Amino acid sequence: MRVLVLTETFPTAEHPGRGIFIREQVTALADRHEITVLFPRPWLPGIPSRWLESRARNLEVQIPPPTVLPIPVKRTPYLYIPRNREIRSRQLAALARRELFASGIRYDLVHAHWLSPPGLAAIRAVGHAPIPTIVTAHAGDVYRDLDQAAYRPAARTVVGRATRIIAVADYFRGPLEGLGTDPSRMKIIPNGVDTRLFRPKERGAARLALDLPPEGFLFLYVGNLEPAKGVLDTVHAFFSGAPEKARLLLAGTGSLWTDLERRARHSEGRLILRGWQSHESVSQYLAAADCFVLPSYGEGNPVTVLESLCCGTPVIGSAIPALSSLIQPGQNGLLVPAGAVLELGTAMQEVTRRRWDTEAISSRAQSRFGWTTVADQISSVYDEAVAECQTRAGFGVQRRT
Extents of the domains making up the chain: 2-192+370-392, 203-365
CATH, domain 203-365, list 3.40.50.2000, 2.40.50.140, 3.40.50.300, 1.10.260.40: 3.40.50.2000
Q: What pLDDT tens digit does each residue of the chain (401 aa) get?
A: 999 999 999 988 777 778 899 999 999 999 999 999 999 988 777 776 566 655 433 333 333 445 567 789 998 888 888 778 899 999 999 999 999 999 999 999 999 999 999 999 999 999 999 999 999 999 888 877 777 888 889 999 999 999 999 999 999 999 999 999 999 999 999 999 999 999 999 999 999 999 999 999 999 999 999 999 999 999 999 999 999 899 999 999 999 999 999 999 999 999 999 999 988 999 999 999 999 999 999 898 999 999 999 999 999 999 999 999 999 999 999 999 999 999 999 999 999 999 999 999 999 999 999 999 999 999 999 999 999 988 887 754 444 43
In degrees rounded to 5, what are phi and psi of residue 4?
-100, 120
- Does this chain's domain 2-192+370-392 share its CATH topology with 203-365? yes
Whose CA is closest to 316, among 211, 201, 386, 237? 237
Domain 2-192+370-392 fold is Rossmann fold (3.40.50)
The answer, as to whether pTM is greater than 0.85, is yes
